[in-house]
Amino acid sequence: MDIALLGGTGDIGEGLALRWAYDTSHEVIVGSRDAERAANKAEEYATELDSRGVDSSVAGYENGEAAARADVIVCAVPAYHLTDTIESVADQLDEGDVLVSPAVGMKRDEAGMHYNEPGAGSVTALAADAAPDGVSVVGAFHNLAADRLANLDAELDVDTLVVADDDDAADTVSSLAEGIEGLRPVSAGGIANASEVEALTPLLINIAMNNEKMHDVGVKFH
Q: Which residues of the chain have pLDDT under 70?
A: none
Q: In the prediction, which pLDDT does 55 show?
A: 86
Q: In the prediction, which pLDDT does 213 show?
A: 87
Q: In the prediction, which pLDDT does 56 show?
A: 82
Domains of the chain: 2-210 (3.40.50.720)
Q: CB 141: neighbour CB atoms within 10 A?
A: 25
Strand partners, 184: 159
Q: In the prediction, which pLDDT does 63 show?
A: 98
Q: In the prediction, which pLDDT does 134 show?
A: 97
Q: Are 127 and 137 in contact (CB under 8 A)?
A: yes
**How far is Cα 17 from Cα 48, in angstroms, rounded to an integer?**
11
Its sign, for the CA torsion 73, 78, 83, 88, is negative
Tell me which amino acid residue 53 is.
Answer: G
User: pTM for the full model?
Assistant: 0.96
